[in-house]
Amino acid sequence: MPEPGVRTFATATGVIAYEVLEAQTAGEAPTLVLLHNFMSTGRAAWGALLDVLNARYRILLPDLPGHGRSIGHPFGFHHRRMAEQLAALLAQESALQAHLAGCSSGGMLAQLLVADRLMQPATLTLVSTTYSTNPATTGHLPPLDPAHFQAGRRWMEATARLHDPYHYAGYYEEVVLAGFRRLRPETSIDLHLSDLAHFALPVCLIHGAEDEFFPVAIPQAMAAAFPDAELHIIPGQTHGLIFRQPWRVATTMVQFLDAHH
C-alpha cells in the first residue's frame, strides 16, 4: 500500500509513486513538475525548496522509475523510455503544459520530454545538467562516477536509505547505483545544440561554476543555443545545487517562474 498522500501510476514496467502538493494560495494555481537526479528521490532532492515553490505553485513530485517508492523501470533505465512513462503520468494529471524543472538526470529527462514532443511545458528550468553525456558531442569528457561527487563522506549510505526500505537491503547497490554506472549516451541523453534551437519556450539554467561533472562551458553553450534562455552561474559551487544552495535555486526559480506566469 502507498503511504498516505502518495499516489501511484501504473506503467508497462512497474509503478511510479508521486505526490501532488496543492498550492498554498487561494484560487487556481499553475502546476510545476519537479524531476529529481539519478539515485535520489523527489522529496530528498527538492524537499528544501518545496515551501518556497509550493507557496504559489501546485507541485507534481514523482520518484523516478526504479527510485524510492516507485517500483520497476525501463530496461537499463533508458531515459527516453522513462520520459515516455513520465509523460503518460503527466497526461493523467493534466500537466502536459505545466512548468517543468529537472536537476542533473532529471534535467536530461526534462529535455527529452520537450525534444521528443511528449509535452509542451510553459517553461523549463534546468539545474546542474547537460544536453549530452557524449564527449564527442560536448567536447568534454564527463567523469560520471558517483565517487567524484563532492558530497559528505557517508552520502552513499544515506542514499541507500532512500531506496532500500521500499525494496530490500542492497537494492540501491544492486539496481540503482549499478544502473547509473551502466548508463551510456544512447541510454541517457545525447542531444545536439541544434536540437535545443527548436525549444520554443523560456528556459532557465542554474549551474555551479565548479561543477565536477558538467563543466560550465556546457550550460553556457546551452544558453546560447536556446532561443529564449537565462543563465545563472553560481560561483564556487559544484554539482547538485539543489542540495548545496537550495534557497538560492528556489529564489532564482521563483523569479523566473513569476516572470512567465
Answer whether residue 146 shows pLDDT above 70.
no
80 in a domain, yes or no?
yes
Q: What is the mean pLDDT of residues 11-35?
A: 93
Q: Which tops the pLDDT comparison, 94 or 2?
A: 94
2 in a domain, yes or no?
no
1 in a domain, yes or no?
no
Alpha-carbon distance of 173 to 177, in angstroms, equals 5
Query: How high is the pLDDT of residue 244?
Result: 87
DSSP for 160-189 reads HTTTGGGS-TTHIIIIIIHHHHH--TTTS-
Q: What is the mean pLDDT of residues 28-41?
A: 95
Alpha-carbon distance of 248 to 82, in angstroms, equals 29
Answer whether residue 13 shows pLDDT above 80.
yes
Q: CB atoms < 10 A from the CB of 209, how many?
A: 13
C-alpha cell at 92: 493523467
Query: How high is the pLDDT of residue 1?
Result: 43
Give the chain's end-to-end CA distance (angstroms, integer).
Answer: 37
217 in a domain, yes or no?
yes
For the domain that residue 34 is a member of, what is the CATH number? 3.40.50.1820
pLDDT above 70 coverage of the chain, percent: 93
Query: How high is the pLDDT of residue 140?
Result: 83
Q: State the residue range of the domain holding 122.
A: 7-256
Query: How high is the pLDDT of residue 151?
Result: 54
pLDDT tens digit string along 91-126?
Answer: 999 999 999 999 999 999 999 999 999 999 999 999
Number of domains in the chain: 1
**Residue 82 pLDDT grade (very low, low, confident, very high; cuts 50, 70, 90):** very high
